[in-house]
């Protein structure tokens, strides 16, 4: 491929990775006495770029979960949203400009199959207002840990874990306080040449007796219309991408009451807002009157009341919560609103030194309604229960996971529908020796039908009488190898989703009523691979991901948000950290091979409808992190994203050539300081 010729080092690193995978489903805990294991497998020591997870006395039981970043990695980056964190993650793609136009895929599976889970709360349906709109607006600086779960989840994964989840945990005050400090303050700021700025602060503290700790934070990001890459010209003759400007404002607060070392109760609240003049359809840019740009204001409010504890008799771990989510879209003509309330109870009991059982209950009620007189209210109730055993066998060289989950939903609008289903799961990790492990899994999960787009419920919406939940089946094989700073990960997968939910009608097929019905079977096969090497301050890594989703009933994948056809994805990176000064320099390359023919949105009257080939691309970024004090309390980050000013569209977008182009060259300077 021509894109690789720009950098011979990229070839040298990438080509050997064809049969190896990064997926940390493959990154098992090799022994219970290992005190630190990096989920990506690059190092068992503290890794300033990737972060480290501390593990004590238990084996890895979720083989398809990959650690992406901790607070240290985020602070040492120019991340202003989660897109910046996923940028070099095997099997995860996120593109489409800024904020609400962004579209996430995991192994080619789109947003209708993927959940964002923050502090145990999934945002399923809550942001489903009109066509595609971004599902997450979380301030990355307030994130303690981010993980991605690929493929169908195990029994304990929660509702609708059919094709993957992004899992984030927010910070407590203790995550920011320095040793001996009871009160702290942090500030952040940044500038982007293409084109925007950021200002943020947080205040945090704890009482002398550690009984109470609290944190409050605010973040403001102002993105103007950015320029496309070299050669891009918009319909008005400029190099700016219309409808790409966006304001982002987020507020966050959390208070913990620490009864003792074992028990904590707390409450948190997040408000996330996006606002600006945006295209009617967030993910499309036609450059015509059909874009119909107008001012929009999106507001998400999430409140979480939780209890966490351990050593409660035969229950070794307790994680319980009740939550409320309210999301609304303030438009010129209407204000559609979605709400979700629910609770989760997750318990763990250990059986001896080598076995444990997870079990729990989940409940969620979701409603959606537009505020026009003719709007139809939609309501969905879901209940779930699960039990999952984790068994350490053969002197803890083998970890066997067995699970069973039951989910039931009731859905009401003009019509009613309900369904319930049992989903078993089984997985095994075999640590052949301290360096090599193999894993295999078969997971099943269900996903209740999604609420229809709330902004369009002024038209009748009904559900087929026999509407059922989608059923996902996922088979996976993988391996993990690490020795003397070298790691290799590999996986192959085969997924099938039956009873796929499709939307028909609403004027497009001549039906006066929009009907939600089951529409066939989706199959997805593929592989992922990565290798990495670390020696002192030098780090190198590379990976590849390939997926091929297809439907069996002739429905074009690009007309739905369930799966996206895309070319094979590659990435590689090289970095070095100096001790004095405390400085890291790095480079990463991101590549996509051209994809097969696809129908470009099917909207002939709106600038699409023709067959087009998804063009391949190669993008290079350079970055620098400097810690002037020699410690992690002060970070200065400089990056040159898309350094060669490539004009391209991410393959994660279902809109094809009518998707928003990605930003051209962008020089970004950010800093964060903790007093």
pLDDT (tens digit per residue) in 499-548: 988 776 554 444 445 667 887 789 999 999 999 999 999 999 999 999 99
Do residues 542 and 530 touch, judged by C-beta distance below 8 A?
Answer: yes
Residue 106: CA atoms inside 13 Å, Cβ hemisphere, count?
27
All residues at 6 or more sequence positions from 509 whose CB lies less than 8 Å from its CB, including other chains: none
CA-based end-to-end distance of the chain: 49
H or E element at residue 73: helix 71-75
Token pair listed for 310: 């351990």
Q: Residue 480's domain spans which residues?
A: 2-674
Residue 419 phi/psi, 5-degree rounding, is: -165, 150
- SS3 call for 128: coil
H or E element at residue 9: helix 8-14
Can you tell me the distance from the alpha carbon of 458 to that of 474, in angstroms, rounded to the nearest whole number?
Answer: 38
Mean pLDDT across 571-595: 93
Residue 587 phi/psi, 5-degree rounding, is: -140, 145
Residue 472: CA atoms inside 13 Å, Cβ hemisphere, count?
28
Token pair listed for 273: 């807002």
pLDDT digits (tens, 9 = 90+) for 468-499: 999 999 999 999 999 999 999 999 999 999 99
pLDDT digits (tens, 9 = 90+) for 69-95: 788 888 888 888 878 888 878 888 888
Looking at 340-468, list the stretches that DSSP marks H as alpha helix, in order from N- to C-terminal side.
none
Q: What is the pLDDT of residue 111?
A: 81
Can you tell me the distance from the alpha carbon of 260 to that of 513, in angstroms, rounded to the nearest whole number?
Answer: 57
Domain count, the chain: 1
Q: How confident is the prediction for the chain on average, in pLDDT? A: 83
Looking at 151-222, list the stretches that DSSP marks H as alpha helix, in order from N- to C-terminal side.
none
Do residues 78 and 84 touch, judged by C-beta distance below 8 A?
Answer: yes
Token pair listed for 493: 């997968």
Residue 157 has pLDDT above 90, yes or no: yes
pLDDT digits (tens, 9 = 90+) for 85-141: 888 788 888 888 887 788 888 998 988 888 889 999 998 888 778 776 767 778 888
Can you tell me the distance from the alpha carbon of 332 to that of 334, in angstroms, rounded to the nearest whole number?
Answer: 6
All residues at 6 or more sequence positions from 557 whose CB lies less than 8 Å from its CB, including other chains: 549, 550, 551, 563, 564, 565, 598, 654
Beta bridge partners of 200: 188, 219
Which of 8, 79, 18, 19 lies closest to 49 in space, CA to CA? 79
CATH of the domain at 547: 2.40.170.20
Residue 580 phi/psi, 5-degree rounding, is: -145, 105
Token pair listed for 448: 């209740």
- The DSSP code for 54 is E
Torsion of CA 275, 279, 280, 284, to 10 degrees: -130
Buried b (16+ CB within 10 A) or exposed e, 517-549: bbbebbbbbbbbbbbbbbeeeebbbbbbbbbeb
- State the pLDDT confidence band at 553, using cuts at 50, 70 and 90: low
Which of 306, 458, 298, 441 lies closest to 376 in space, CA to CA? 458
- The DSSP code for 97 is S
pLDDT digits (tens, 9 = 90+) for 3-59: 433 333 333 333 333 333 333 333 333 333 333 333 332 223 333 333 333 333 334
Please state whether the predicted TM-score (pTM) of the whole model is above 0.95.
Answer: no
């Amino acid at each position: 491929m021509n894109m690789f010729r720009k950098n011979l080092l990229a070839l040298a690193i990438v080509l050997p990775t064809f049969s190896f995978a990064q997926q940390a489903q493959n990154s098992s805990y090799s022994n219970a006495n290992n005190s630190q294991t990096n989920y990506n497998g690059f190092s068992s020591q503290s890794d300033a770029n990737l972060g480290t997870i501390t593990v004590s006395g238990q084996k890895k039981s979720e083989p398809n979960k990959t650690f992406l970043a901790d607070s240290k990695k985020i602070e040492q980056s120019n991340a202003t949203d989660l897109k910046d964190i996923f940028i070099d993650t095997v099997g995860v793609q996120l593109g489409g400009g800024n904020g609400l136009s962004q579209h996430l895929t995991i192994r080619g599976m789109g947003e209708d199959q993927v959940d964002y889970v923050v502090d145990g709360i999934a945002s399923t349906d809550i942001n489903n207002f009109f066509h595609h709109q971004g599902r997450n607006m979380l301030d990355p600086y307030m994130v303690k840990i981010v993980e991605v779960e690929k493929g169908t989840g195990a029994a304990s994964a929660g509702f609708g874990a059919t094709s993957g989840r992004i899992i984030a945990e927010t910070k407590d005050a203790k995550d920011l306080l320095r040793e001996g400090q009871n009160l702290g303050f942090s500030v952040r700021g940044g500038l982007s040449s293409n084109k925007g700025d950021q200002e943020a602060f947080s205040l945090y503290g704890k009482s002398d007796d550690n009984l109470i700790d609290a944190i409050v934070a605010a973040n403001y990001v102002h993105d103007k219309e950015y320029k496309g890459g070299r050669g891009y010209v918009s319909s008005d003759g400029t190099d700016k991408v219309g409808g790409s400007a966006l304001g982002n404002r987020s507020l966050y607060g959390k208070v913990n009451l620490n009864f003792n070392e074992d028990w904590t109760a707390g409450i948190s609240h997040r408000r996330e807002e996006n606002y600006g003049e945006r295209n009617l359809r967030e993910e499309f840019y036609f450059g015509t009157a059909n874009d119909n740009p107008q001012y929009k204001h999106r507001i998400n409010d999430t409140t979480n009341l939780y209890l966490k504890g351990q050593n409660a008799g035969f229950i070794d771990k307790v994680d319980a919560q009740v939550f409320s989510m309210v999301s609304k879209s303030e438009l010129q003509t209407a204000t559609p609103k979605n709400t979700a309330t629910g609770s989760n109870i997750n318990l763990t009991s250990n059986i001896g030194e080598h076995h444990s059982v997870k079990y729990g209950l989940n409940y969620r009620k979701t409603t959606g309604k537009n505020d026009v007189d003719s709007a139809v209210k939609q309501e969905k109730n879901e209940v779930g229960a699960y039990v999952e055993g984790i068994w350490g066998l053969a002197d803890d060289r083998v970890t066997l996971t067995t699970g069973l989950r039951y989910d039931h939903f009731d859905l009401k609008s003009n019509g009613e529908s309900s369904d319930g289903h049992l989903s078993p799961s089984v997985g095994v990790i075999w640590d052949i020796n301290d360096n090599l492990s193999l894993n295999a899994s078969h997971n099943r999960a269900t996903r209740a039908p999604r609420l229809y787009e709330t902004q369009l419920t002024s038209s009748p919406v009904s559900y087929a009488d026999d509407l059922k939940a989608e059923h996902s089946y996922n088979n996976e094989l993988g391996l993990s190898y690490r020795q003397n700073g070298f790691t290799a990960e590999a996986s192959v997968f085969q997924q099938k989703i039956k009873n796929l939910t499709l939307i028909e009608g609403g004027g497009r097929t001549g039906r006066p009523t929009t009907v939600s019905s089951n529409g066939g079977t989706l199959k997805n096969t593929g592989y992922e691979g990565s290798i990495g090497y670390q020696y002192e301050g030098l780090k190198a890594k590379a990976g590849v991901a390939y997926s091929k989703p297809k439907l069996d009933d002739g429905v074009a994948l690009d007309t739905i948000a369930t799966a996206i056809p895309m070319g094979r994805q590659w990435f590689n990176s090289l970095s070095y950290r100096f001790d004095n000064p405390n400085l890291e320099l790095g480079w990463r390359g991101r590549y996509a091979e051209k994809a097969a023919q696809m129908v470009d949105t099917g909207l002939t009257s709106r600038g699409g409808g023709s067959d087009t080939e998804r063009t391949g691309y190669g993008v290079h970024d350079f970055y620098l992190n400097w810690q002037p004090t020699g410690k992690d309390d002060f970070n200065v980050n400089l990056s040159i994203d898309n350094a060669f000013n490539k004009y391209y569209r991410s393959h994660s977008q279902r809109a094809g050539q009518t998707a928003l182009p990605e930003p051209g060259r962008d020089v970004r300077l950010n800093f964060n300081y903790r007093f």
